[in-house]
Chains A and B, each alone.
Chain A
Amino acid sequence: MRLSPGARERLTIFWMLFPTFLVIVGFYIYPTLYNLELSFTDITLLKLRKGGDWVGLANYWEFLRSSSFFDIALNTVFWLTAVSVTCRMILGLLFALLLNASFLKRMKLSTLARLILLVPWATPPVVAVIAWRWMFDPTHGAINSWLLSTGLISDPIAFVSNLSTVWPAINTIIVWNTTPLVAISLLAALQTVPQELNEAASIDGATKFQEFRFITLPYLIPTLSVLTLMSVIWTFNNFVYVWLATGAGPGTFTNVLATEVYLKAFVDLRIGYSAAIGVTMAVVMALFGALYFRLFGVGDMQEKVG
């Protein structure tokens, strides 16, 4: 049977895309469906060989009704995600503006400043958390030593053990480690702002703030919106910082969704229950992504990304 040129072209496209399709199925769709299947069972780490029994939506129901659900959701959405992403965006923008400032160029410090800014980002998260934990240590930590020597405090503070300081401590580590990426990305965007617009505005009597508000910021919005979306998804799902800094403690005070997945799967051994939390997280992020795209407009976002 002879195929029409159009059909031949479609077949060629299909075969060219087929390997990619296989990779997506193997590495994304299959694990996702398997995880979904596990979430409807009571499988535990002790029953991996035997398999679990079907329990329907019981795991989801138990999680959503559990006494810790509200605390975990609040920790994840507010303390871990909202606070750290907001701090990261604001500090990233400030650093980008600083790095783009003409006085740094005049003093020939631009390259050095950029290199210094990149150091935290080049530090692996595990190393960053361990280093900061030592700095926060109440007995030997540099921060307590400095605060004590300056007389700002009279007793050392156990930053990662005290309920009022543990979240600020975790967020300090996250912001320190991740802000440079935001700053460098925004710096790249800043360099696309046509200087003649600023000059024209300046001649027309615009203040520096007005130049930033009406010229620079509109140019940064596309980059800022993509960075915010990526940061929110990445932070919401992040496990490393909280787990290594506090192990979700003291008690369960800093427990977030990602650490709850780990605790339920590998401490309490309840793989099925843990899978249900994982699916819930994926659904929440999918909804957030959809809402975000709707707010900013799909076409607009494509334009911003592409």
Chain B
Amino acid sequence: MFVKKGIVVAVSTALALGAGSALAETVIKFRFNDSEREEMRAALDEFESANPDIKVELQTISWKDARDQFLREAAVGQGPDVVHIAFVWTQEMAEAEVVMPIEELVQYGEFANGFDDFIATDLTEYEGKAYGVPWSADTWAMVYRTDVLESAGVDGLPTNWSELKAASTEVKEKTGKSGFAFAAANQIWFPVNYYLWSNGAGFVVEDGNGGYKIGVSQAQLADAMDYFKSFITDGEAPESIVTIDQPHDPTLMQALLDGNQAAALMPTNTFRQLLSAYEEANPGKPVPFASGPMMAGTGEPQTHLGGRTLVVNDSTKNPEAAWKLVQFLTSAELFEKYYTNQFPAQKSLLAQIDYRPEESGFADQLANHTRTWGAYAQSNAQMGQLWNTTSRAFSTALSGQKSSEEAAAELLSELERMLGN
């Protein structure tokens, strides 16, 4: 009898507790794709302590698959509540109707310094509405292994593409090490654009009549292909870079850490990870790295103002909790304590950053030599498709699969199709 009664009480209590916690607790999913997963989990623990009625499930997916995976899920009403995406995907997500407009979310709370405090908000706008919150800002700059440059007798850092090539050749000839190496598959998109921009060209430019046109000739494209290919054919970069997608690929990072490569280009967070890895492996030793602005061409050096955006899934059942999380993730505290490899995408927070001496190139680049994607993002061409098509075309030329002229002609014809001309 006692046993029976005990079971009834226990079951009732468990059901009551379960029902109570189910009522009190909102579970939201946050998809975060950077490598600082542990730090982010610690930050979310703090968020959960401050908001005991909200639990956050952290998901991670590789950046390479992040855009397509979310589009597939969101199209059928699934997917995480808050998603970490690239700046340039926001308009595509808005066009696909899978993310919530910010104006519907601000009813749950405003940002401390308002939405205008964020940079690059134009990239989050689609048909007059903002659909994402710029979260982290970054750009790319040059990174050098100063001891390798010194041993090759290269004085000072190169400032233009010709000097970079000369320094790279010098390193190879004097030391036998790699000069300038880069990810030549998917992310060759970035150096190629920097090369074209600094030489007055660009894949998409305004046509002066409110439309857009291709801003690069076949000869300019072939020249850019030949320039980057020369590092491989002259033996200054390993042949394996033609299948390397990311600047943080172990092959490139290890060569820099081991002092087997003199120069590279990379985003801010990758450089910070490189510095940490070196310091961890060589405690107390001076850091033999320096950063410098991107190369100049016939004009000023220019890189893109890039970064990450936070968006809220249009199918979320918990928009208020999702928005609370977005507000927490954009707080100064998060960047100070947890997300320290990244720069915040808020003007007020960017002004407070203390750069390390090795990061002076990134500071200079970010402050003086960046531009947004502008016409690229505003034209008919989808940024993602433009990026992938360009990278594939350059990769076919750099690998020797096609001649530069042939690859450039095919790329131009694809660009015409994408722009709808």
- The chain A residues found within 8 Å of chain B, CB to CB, are 45-50, 67, 137-139, 158, 160-163, 246-247, 249-253, 263, 266-269
Q: Identify 9 new A-B residue pairs, CB closer than 8 A, beyond the known A251-B392, A251-B402, A252-B396.
A: A45-B72, A48-B75, A67-B410, A163-B399, A247-B186, A247-B245, A251-B395, A251-B397, A268-B388
Any chain A CB within 8 A of the CB of B331? no
Contact indicator B71/A138 (Cβ below 8 Å): no
A250 to B111, CA, bound (A): 46
Contact indicator B385/A268 (Cβ below 8 Å): yes
Cβ-neighbour of A45 out of B71, B76, B185, B396 (below 8 A): B71
Any chain A CB within 8 A of the CB of B92? yes
Contact with A along B184-218 (1 / 0, CB 8 A): 01100000000000000000000000000000000
* In the complex with contacts A49-B98, A267-B388, A268-B385, A162-B239 CB distance below 8 A: yes
Cβ-neighbour of A250 out of B68, B92, B238, B401 (below 8 A): B401
Contact indicator B68/A252 (Cβ below 8 Å): no
* In the complex with contacts A49-B98, A252-B401, A247-B185 CB distance below 8 A: yes
A263 to B281, CA, bound (A): 39
Contact indicator A49/B243 (Cβ below 8 Å): no
* In the complex with contacts A45-B71, A48-B71, A139-B251, A253-B396 CB distance below 8 A: yes
Complex: chain A residue closest to B413, CB-CB: A67
Cβ-neighbour of A49 out of B75, B186, B238, B245 (below 8 A): B75
Cβ-neighbour of B384 out of A137, A253, A269 (below 8 A): A269
A31 vs chain B, min Cβ distance (A)? 15
Within 8 A of A (CB), among B43-79: 65, 68, 71-72, 75-76
Contact indicator B68/A266 (Cβ below 8 Å): yes
Chain B residues whose CB sits within 8 angstroms of the CB of A246 once the complex forms: 243
Contact indicator A161/B240 (Cβ below 8 Å): yes
B96 vs chain A, min Cβ distance (A)? 4
A246 to B397, CA, bound (A): 16
Contact indicator A250/B395 (Cβ below 8 Å): yes
Contact indicator A253/B399 (Cβ below 8 Å): yes
A and B contact pairs by CB, cutoff 8 A, 23 listed: A45-B72, A48-B72, A49-B96, A67-B410, A139-B240, A158-B243, A160-B243, A161-B243, A163-B400, A247-B185, A247-B245, A249-B185, A249-B399, A251-B242, A251-B398, A251-B399, A252-B395, A252-B396, A253-B396, A266-B68, A267-B384, A269-B71, A269-B384
Any chain A CB within 8 A of the CB of B220? no
Chain A residues whose CB sits within 8 angstroms of the CB of B238 once the complex forms: 138-139, 158
Give the residue among A251, A252, A253, A269 with the most B Cβ atoms within 10 A.
A251
Contact indicator B71/A46 (Cβ below 8 Å): yes
Complex: chain B residue closest to A46, CB-CB: B96
A186 to B255, CA, bound (A): 47
Any chain A CB within 8 A of the CB of B226? no
Any chain A CB within 8 A of the CB of B95? yes
Chain A residues whose CB sits within 8 angstroms of the CB of B399 once the complex forms: 161, 163, 249-251, 253
B254 vs chain A, min Cβ distance (A)? 8
Cβ-neighbour of B240 out of A48, A138, A267 (below 8 A): A138
A34 to B389, CA, bound (A): 28
Total inter-chain residue pairs, C-beta < 8 Å: 98
Any chain A CB within 8 A of the CB of B223? no
Chain A residues whose CB sits within 8 angstroms of the CB of B341 once the complex forms: none
A250 vs chain B, min Cβ distance (A)? 3
A289 vs chain B, min Cβ distance (A)? 31
A87 to B348, CA, bound (A): 64
Chain B residues whose CB sits within 8 angstroms of the CB of A47 once the complex forms: 96
A251 to B388, CA, bound (A): 11
Complex: chain A residue closest to B185, CB-CB: A249
A161 to B398, CA, bound (A): 11
Complex: chain B residue closest to A268, CB-CB: B385
Any chain A CB within 8 A of the CB of B382? yes
Complex: chain A residue closest to B232, CB-CB: A161
A252 to B414, CA, bound (A): 15
A162 to B238, CA, bound (A): 11
Chain B residues whose CB sits within 8 angstroms of the CB of A263 once the complex forms: 388
Chain B residues whose CB sits within 8 angstroms of the CB of A251 once the complex forms: 242, 392, 395-399, 401-402
Any chain A CB within 8 A of the CB of B122? no
Any chain A CB within 8 A of the CB of B97? yes
Contact indicator A253/B401 (Cβ below 8 Å): yes
Q: What are the 6 tightest A-B residue pairs by CB atom distance, in nearest-first order? A: A251-B396, A250-B399, A48-B75, A158-B240, A158-B239, A251-B401
A138 to B181, CA, bound (A): 15
Chain B residues whose CB sits within 8 angstroms of the CB of A50 once the complex forms: 97
A252 to B410, CA, bound (A): 13
Contact indicator A161/B239 (Cβ below 8 Å): yes
A162 to B186, CA, bound (A): 17
* In the complex with contacts A138-B240, A139-B238, A139-B251, A252-B392 CB distance below 8 A: yes
Contact indicator B382/A46 (Cβ below 8 Å): yes
Chain B residues whose CB sits within 8 angstroms of the CB of A46 once the complex forms: 71, 92, 95-96, 382
Contact with A along B168-187 (1 / 0, CB 8 A): 00000000000000000110
A249 to B239, CA, bound (A): 13
A172 to B376, CA, bound (A): 42
Cβ-neighbour of B382 out of A67, A160, A249, A269 (below 8 A): A269
A267 to B71, CA, bound (A): 12
B322 vs chain A, min Cβ distance (A)? 20
Chain B residues whose CB sits within 8 angstroms of the CB of A266 once the complex forms: 65, 68
A263 to B389, CA, bound (A): 10
